[in-house]
Amino acid sequence: MSLGSLRHYFVTHSELIAFSMRLVADRVERRLRSKKRTGDIRHDIETLIAELVPLDEERAAECEVWFAFAGKAVADSALGALLREVHDALHALFRQITDELIRLNLTKPDIDPGLEAKRMHAMVDGLVVHGVTCPERLTRQQIREVVSYHLDRILR
């Protein structure tokens, strides 16, 4: 699509970035909601996290949009509300995962649910950043290994 065609729909670059981020957020949310629980909680968590990190071309492109959006939103107050909305939705997902693990007595006894949700969120954000900016240094297999290692540290 030509730049002129885009300008017909988006007056500013921020509008284009916001539209792209909403599109990505909607796509990811639909995928997350469509995932059926298998009963294997660890597998289910790994499957959910896999939808958020760059493990294939589609998810890598979505992560690139997120990365571009987050960088722009830091300096553009017009995008700040959407940044907080996306951030809060992700944090809520990690808090829900953490609370469920604790409720099912699957975690080690000293897990702090609030801190663990933040740590899991930070881990996923870090995997996105490294997976997008240095994919040759953090392969898709290594992303899976980091998630697995993290879960090994918190699960009984």
* Tens of each residue's pLDDT in the chain, 156 residues: 555 566 667 888 889 899 999 999 999 999 999 999 999 999 999 999 999 999 999 999 999 999 999 999 999 988 999 999 999 999 999 999 999 999 999 999 999 999 999 999 999 999 999 999 999 999 999 999 999 999 999 999
Quick one: pLDDT at residue 11? 81
Calculate the alpha carbon distances from 152 to 27, 93, 106, 107, 140 in Å. Answer: 29, 19, 11, 10, 19
CA separation for the pair 25, 27 (Å, rounded): 5
CATH 1.10.357.10 fits 3-154, yes or no: yes
Nearest Cα to Cα of residue 64 among 129, 149, 152: 129
* For the chain, domain boundaries: 3-154
Please tell me the predicted confidence (pLDDT) of residue 10.
83
SS3 155: strand
At residue 63, the pLDDT reads 97
